[in-house]
Structure 1
Amino acid sequence: MRALFVRHALLPEGWRRDVLLEWDAYGDLTRVEAEAAAPLGVARADYVLPGMVNLHSHAFQRALGGLTERAGEGPDSFWTWRDLMYRFAARITPEQIEAIAAQLFVECLRHGYTSLCEFHYLQRGPDGQAYARPAETAERVAAAGHATGMGLTLLPVLYSHAGFGEQPLRPEQRRFRTNVDDILGIAEALQPLRGGQLEVGAAPHSLRAATIGQVRELASGLPAGRPLHIHIAEQQAEVEQSIAFSGRRPVQNLMEQVEVDARWCLVHATHLDDAEVQAIARSGAVAGLCPTTEANLGDGLFPLQRFIALGGRFGIGSDSHVSQSPVEELRWLEYGQRLVHQRRNVAFTNEQRDVGQYLWQAALRGGAQAAGRKVGALREGLRADLLVLDGSHPNLDGVAEADVLGRFLFCGNDNLVRDVLCGGRWVVQGGRHVAQDAVTQRYRQAMIELRDSSEVGQ
């Protein structure tokens, strides 16, 4: 049956009891009724949350996790990590991209992500030549999403330059090379895949890799309403280079010269002055925050407290996938702020003072906006994406509903997600993905092939 009766469900207005959920064959919720009578023959659950949106992913980097944690001769940074990533990216094949993406999606689904925005910049072959089908690698990611049930927003990436001032691409960046026409062509080629489980937008990689003129051209050429994402102000060095080139900070430069609105997601936006914080909040754009990757790369911390006070919108992403857990992402989003401000309970508003509930609901709203899909809440007309928590786990056994998200996000390291429904399809049951064994076997084979052709991981 396409129905579930829930004792405690997190709806947009908060926790409600005895909620009957029904969905159609297309995967949309058709009924969300609180204080309902329990129908006969309908499956039951104790605690249900809307599935989380992962708004920033580079799927192929999942294969690099944990392989770059050796100190070099000098200070290590994002830039030294990037050199290792380039060497890995030079060797990966479309088949391996699909296998790695499927493994990542299985892991993300098991931990509570039901939507993912793929910031996809591996467009060309290892020699820098276009594939016979320019959308080949993006189609591989889409195939991995279909096979695993992950809801996707595909964002083919505009990547034309190696740095500010239209610096020529380095040889190791040849697989990323695209212009505006290339990206619009890939987006058009992906058009037949669009539907309830997949949207297509685009992403200027950064103001280092795309000029302001290109960003404007891409934004105007993409169909109205489609999502636009961009990396920005991730590193202090990027801010310094932007000022040296244009006299402006990166976010300042973008805001002053491009019409940034609610369809934009500014990824990282770590290093901001107060005027930039205000400008992002006013624009209605989403700040895409990836705390585990930002920590792994030594990026810095986003000014979350000030942004929340201004009514800013944010969501979370796993980026390079050193973690596939929204719990870890949200936990460290809050903990980073506690360390900076030397106080507890930073992420809240006067309307919602429960930190766990505020973080989950706010990240859902921002993530849904960034994804451009009908997700982010248990509400009629949206996708049937939900998480069934393990009510028998000691952390949740008999807990009051007001304490569920606090327990879920801030207590222990067990994965409390038991079952996952994504687009009306049960993809995780009893903590295991329904295709987990087959997906993992293909991933293992891809990693054997990559280790045989690369010094990474040896």
Structure 2
Amino acid sequence: MTRPRSLPGFVNAHSHTFQRALRGRAAGRDFWAWREGMLEEAARQTDASVRELYARTYGEMRAAGYTAVGEFHYLGIDTALAAADAADEAGIGFVCLHVAYARGGLPRMRQESATDYLRELEGLRARGIAVGVTPHSVRACPRDWLLELGRYARVDDLPLHVHADEQPREVEESLAEHGVRPIELLADCGCLGERTTVVHATHANGAELDLLRDSGSAICACPTTEADLGDGFLPAIRVRHRGIPLCIGSDSNVRIDPLEELRQLEGIARRQDGRRDVFSTDELFEIGGANGARALGLETWSAIEVDTAHRSLEGVADEHLRAALVAGCGGDVVVPPAG
């Protein structure tokens, strides 16, 4: 009789869970048009809708093999508590990447000052919720906020997550306002370091990648979302050559499948380098699990069981199981957790 095989769970280091509601209906020819529809959906969310939608979506994540999630949350402090409750219900590890938002977006996303933001963050910590310091981006947080948030993360030894270099326009706006590119600004403001994760870095240039390497910062790649939004491709080969740690996120949750994220990441690297097996199977599992846990400050996360009798694994020898998972399987090979 074929038995399930236990493997380390996957870690979703970057999720905007409310965006799961946008599948198939957030039209727009580019990222910026899509963003308008996303903001409309964000405005509709309530504590009750977050509690219900997040519990259901976290259940989908858990069923697909994610056993921990970093929620990049900018819907306000009350809905952050609802998200934490939803994660408890779904049985998934949870880190609230509560977002600092000084300008742009919606009023519900913004705080009056960096001090007000940190007061919110400390309130979450006082409730026993794991958190990260999370300036949304250099678009949303000016230099003085970045300086204060970078200092707080260092002093309190907390993860720091931030979007950077996702879109060319974002780079152009940073150059116009600050005279430097987004990751260069983050470096200037003390926001890079071994506990920092830059989300996307799709359009990072060589000098910016060097800054990430030299500071020990990581990158969270979100290939299914980056493809859906037309963001471009992670410079995977240049990232790997520099030894910059990578992790994965489901981001907009257009698809919830850690194996697909890893497969697309390897596919990008193969197309860029013109050869196969750029990232080894062991590297991909490290990217999908331990690296994500490290980015979120997690010491432990749950294991999963894989149905080795699943049709996608028929005839696969045990020694090839992990390679077969990332080569051609979906999250439905994961045995649903009990209960």
TM-score (norm 2): 0.93
- Match for 1:370 among 295, 298, 309? 295
Equivalent residues in 2 for 1:343-358, closer than 5 Å? 343-347=275-279, 355-358=280-283
- Match for 2:65 among 112, 116, 124? 112
Does residue 67 (structure 1) correspond to residue 25 (structure 2)? The answer is yes
- Kindly state the Cα deviation for residue 346 of structure 1 after the two structures are TM-superposed: 2.1
Does residue 188 (structure 1) correspond to residue 146 (structure 2)? The answer is no
Q: Please tell me whether the aligned partners of residues 151 and 190 of structure 2 are also in contact (alpha carbons under 8 angstroms).
A: no
SS state at 1:267 partner: strand
| One-letter code aligned to 1:158 | A
- Match for 1:85 among 27, 38, 43? 38
| Counterpart in the other structure of 2:7 | 49
**Residue deviations 1:331-357, cap 9 Å, x none?**
11111222333432222xxxxxxx333
Does residue 334 (structure 1) correspond to residue 266 (structure 2)? The answer is yes
| One-letter code aligned to 2:51 | E
- Kindly state the Cα deviation for residue 136 of structure 1 after the two structures are TM-superposed: 1.3
- Kindly state the Cα deviation for residue 183 of structure 1 after the two structures are TM-superposed: 2.0
| Counterpart in the other structure of 2:183 | 251
| One-letter code aligned to 1:214 | W
Query: How many equivalent residue pairs?
Result: 336
Does residue 323 (structure 1) correspond to residue 255 (structure 2)? The answer is yes
SS state at 1:415 partner: helix
- Match for 2:98 among 156, 179, 182? 156
- Kindly state the Cα deviation for residue 143 of structure 1 after the two structures are TM-superposed: 0.4
| Counterpart in the other structure of 1:445 | none
Q: Please tell me whether the aligned partners of residues 113 and 326 of structure 1 are also in contact (alpha carbons under 8 angstroms).
A: yes
Does residue 415 (structure 1) correspond to residue 336 (structure 2)? The answer is no
1:405 and 1:96 map into 2 onto residues whose CA distance is 37
Q: Which moved more, 1:269-278 or 1:332-341?
A: 332-341
2:6 and 2:266 map into 1 onto residues whose CA distance is 23
1:236 and 1:311 map into 2 onto residues whose CA distance is 24
| Counterpart in the other structure of 1:176 | 109
2:271 and 2:258 map into 1 onto residues whose CA distance is 20
Q: Please tell me whether the aligned partners of residues 232 and 250 of structure 1 are also in contact (alpha carbons under 8 angstroms).
A: yes
Structure with higher Rg: it is 1
- Kindly state the Cα deviation for residue 211 of structure 1 after the two structures are TM-superposed: 1.2
**Residue deviations 1:276-310, cap 9 Å, x none?**
11221221111011001111110011111121122
2:169 and 2:319 map into 1 onto residues whose CA distance is 43
Q: Please tell me whether the aligned partners of residues 45 and 388 of structure 1 are also in contact (alpha carbons under 8 angstroms).
A: no
- Match for 1:95 among 6, 23, 48? 48
| Counterpart in the other structure of 2:144 | 213
- Match for 1:291 among 204, 207, 223? 223
| Counterpart in the other structure of 1:396 | 313
1:49 and 1:290 map into 2 onto residues whose CA distance is 22
1:362 and 1:57 map into 2 onto residues whose CA distance is 16
1:281 and 1:45 map into 2 onto residues whose CA distance is 42
| One-letter code aligned to 2:130 | E
| Counterpart in the other structure of 1:137 | 79
* Greater helix share, structure number: 2
2:265 and 2:316 map into 1 onto residues whose CA distance is 24
Does residue 58 (structure 1) correspond to residue 16 (structure 2)? The answer is yes
**Residue deviations 1:207-234, cap 9 Å, x none?**
0100122112123235622111000010
**Residue deviations 1:406-431, cap 9 Å, x none?**
21111244711014xxxxxxxx14xx
1:107 and 1:78 map into 2 onto residues whose CA distance is 25
TM-score (norm 1): 0.70
| One-letter code aligned to 2:93 | G
| One-letter code aligned to 2:110 | R
- Kindly state the Cα deviation for residue 259 of structure 1 after the two structures are TM-superposed: 4.6
1:219 and 1:327 map into 2 onto residues whose CA distance is 33
Does residue 359 (structure 1) correspond to residue 284 (structure 2)? The answer is yes
1:250 and 1:151 map into 2 onto residues whose CA distance is 30
- Match for 1:228 among 156, 160, 180? 160
Q: Please tell me whether the aligned partners of residues 225 and 250 of structure 2 are also in contact (alpha carbons under 8 angstroms).
A: yes
- Kindly state the Cα deviation for residue 63 of structure 1 after the two structures are TM-superposed: 1.0
What is the alpha-carbon root mean square deviation over aligned residues?
1.9
- Kindly state the Cα deviation for residue 363 of structure 1 after the two structures are TM-superposed: 3.1
Identity, % of aligned positions: 37
Q: Please tell me whether the aligned partners of residues 146 and 186 of structure 2 are also in contact (alpha carbons under 8 angstroms).
A: no
SS state at 1:99 partner: helix
2:66 and 2:188 map into 1 onto residues whose CA distance is 34
1:368 and 1:53 map into 2 onto residues whose CA distance is 6
1:209 and 1:56 map into 2 onto residues whose CA distance is 18
- Kindly state the Cα deviation for residue 398 of structure 1 after the two structures are TM-superposed: 5.9
Q: Please tell me whether the aligned partners of residues 206 and 231 of structure 1 are also in contact (alpha carbons under 8 angstroms).
A: yes
| One-letter code aligned to 2:19 | Q
